[in-house]
Amino acid sequence: MASTVTITETPLWANRRCLIFACIISSANMQYGFDSAAVGALQAMPGFLKVFGYEDPTSPLGYGIDSTVQQLITSLLTLGSFVSSLCAGYFASFFGRREGLWAACILNAVAVGIQIGTDSAGVLYLGRLMLGFANGFLVTFSNVYTSEVAPAHLRGVMVALFAYWVNIGSILGSVVDNYTKDRMDKLSYRIPLACLFIVPTFLAIGLFFVPESPRWLLHKGKDQQARQSLEKLRYGAIEGEELELEWTEMIRGVEEEKKIAKSTPWMDMFRGHDLRRTLLCYGMIACQTASGVWFLIAYSTYFFSIAGITKAFEYSIMQTCIGFLGVNVGMFAMRHLVGRRTILIIGALACGLCELATAIAASVDQTAVSTGKVLVGFTALFQFFYNGCVGAASYPVATEVVSSRLRAWTVGSATSLGYVLAWLCGFCTPYFINPEDLNWGAKYGYIWAGSNFLCIVFFYLFMPEMKGRSLEELDEIFEAGTPARKFKQYECRIFEEAMHDIDAKNMKSGKERDAAVHYEESTA
């Protein structure tokens, strides 16, 4: 008899248990947002500059900071994140997603302690490097985990929690800095640094209550634990044959991937159809940097201060709040209005126009009050569209575009590429904006406007629409070599095959039950 299983898109509230688990794991990204906002703003804080900068009567702050120090504070964090993200795939070959996050929490505590306790720039650099190691694992494993456990129709929303928590962290980092910026002692920067203990502490505790990724457990041959994990994640949302169908589809997906695997995972990333998936993932993560967001995150407060804009800290907080609003709008749009591809194109176009507007204003008169207003206004608009579009959709796309067996390897190496590009941006930016060097100021936006327009071309020509597809369905579609424009029309076989397996299982159970009844009647 044919199966009568119907797949319904359960509401977010019905999946609240999975959502809570996803929120706990995604909160790891709050650490990166807090650090970027808090430490970036330290470079415009006299208490910090007294220790790691120099007196400069010509500066509005009374102190200056060497470009090299700026570069190393930002770029060493990025370098550490690059190395750890690159190692994430190898780590995941032996340990689960939760173990990766626990390791990051421990390393974070050591790194923050080093930064708080030193007055030496060299030791500070060591602490930044170690903190980067922790952040790389936090970002990679949190996003990989959320992608693997979320229901297909809610994956965009749940993985977009990355941008949600990054913005919350940025808001809190800016607020803490705003309340300590006027202190002239070391507590002005040690208090914000000490706050970096908070998120990993709560995350480490929360991990005891979160189940491991069922897909990772299946790949490791731990079928019983994987089934228990899936039941815990889907409790209250689906049950019975719907749960059985998702479970069967997962099993078939893992079996198919094991047949495809040819060599070591890092080599498979660059073979066959997985090469296309790897390049798409890399391109998606690279587009984060191409938007110019790392420049604004790391240097906005310093940029405003140098430009003579009063209340630079308050403006930074305002812009971060606007970005947070954008994330909420973007999550709603991805869930109910448009797909990933459309929202990415809209975001890149809007970000490019914002960068272009600030550059043009600076070209007319870089020191005018009106230019400062344009800078503040369009930077706020940039934050809204980046966080609501590119920021919200980037990790959902990057994590679902890659194959299940290679997800930690590909996403980890892609995240490493993102950190390399972010490091390059952080390393070069001071030369462009610092008055001691090129002193371009907001004219630096011309470069980022051009890179955003290139992103539009990439999204339009190469990025497929993956909304509503299960990870196993995406594996099948990519393996079939389907062009990006035909993804939405592709009819997957794995769903029908999973239902066939369930029918066969039910028929077998029915025959065994009939045989048992017949045996009981014959012996009565």
Return the pLDDT at 360: 87
Cα dihedral 471→477→481→487 (10° resolution): -110
Which phi and psi (to 5°) does residue 61 adopt? -90, -15
Burial category of 146 from C-beta neighbours within 10 Å (exposed 0-12, middle 13-18, buried 19 and up): buried
Return the pLDDT at 347: 93
Q: Answer yes or no: are the C-beta atoms of 261 and 381 closer than 8 Å.
A: no
Domain ranges across the chain? 27-222+232-240+268-486
**Gyration radius of the chain over CA positions:** 25
Return the pLDDT at 519: 39
pTM over 0.75: yes
Q: What averages of pLDDT result for each successive group of 10 residues across the chain (524 residues)?
A: 54 88 91 80 75 71 71 80 86 88 94 88 88 90 89 86 84 82 80 90 94 90 90 84 83 78 73 89 91 71 60 71 86 86 92 88 74 78 90 88 86 87 76 70 82 93 87 85 85 70 61 48 52
Return the pLDDT at 523: 52
The DSSP call for residue 388 is I
The DSSP call for residue 386 is I
Rounded CA gap, 400 and 261, in Å? 18
The DSSP call for residue 465 is P
Class of domain 27-222+232-240+268-486: mainly alpha
**What are the beta bridge partners of residue 115?**
none
Return the pLDDT at 434: 66
